[in-house]
Amino acid sequence: MLNPDSVGSTFAGTESITVSQSEIDAFCAVIGETDTAIAPPTFTIRITLSQFEEILTRPNIGLDWSRLVHGDQKFEIFSPVKAGDQLTCSATIESYRVAAGNEIVTVRSDLHKGSDLAVSAWSTLVVRA
């Protein structure tokens, strides 16, 4: 179970992540995107989900990642992501509820390039009963 005291808190992710052209190329190849100068709109999920896993499964937070399903996802893109960008990620646990034994948690990630917010992304994650 998620520690209810963590709701409303913001957690810093690991040190900054540098986006490589090969990562963007691989993501573009899957969806048939030929313009690889800019990362596709959902590319940053690659960073966000792994950061969520690292943060939300910390012993003091306690989410069970093994029974997780993805409920919904939203991106707001303020500055498109390109190769060479150095991004830092934070995660804010915005809401948490239990319904029919399922835990439903909404987490926001903010990806910053330096001091500028580049992408905010909201994920609703459901831990199945």
Site for other proteins in 49-78 (CB under 8 A): 49-50, 69-77
Spatial contact of 91 and 107, defined as CB atoms under 8 Å apart: yes
Of 57 and 73, nearer to other proteins (C-beta) is 73
Other C-beta atoms closer than 10 Å to the C-beta of 24 total 22
Of 38 and 61, nearer to other proteins (C-beta) is 38
Give the CA-trace dihedral at 123, 124, 125, 127, to 10 degrees.
170
Of 3 and 46, nearer to other proteins (C-beta) is 46
Of the listed pieces 8-16, 43-51, 84-92, 103-111, which binds other proteins according to CB under 8 A? Answer: 43-51
Site for other proteins in 100-119 (CB under 8 A): none
Report the distance separating Cα 124 and Cα 93, nearest Å.
10
Binding interface with other proteins (CB under 8 A)? 23, 26-27, 29-33, 35, 38-42, 45-46, 49-50, 69-77, 80, 122
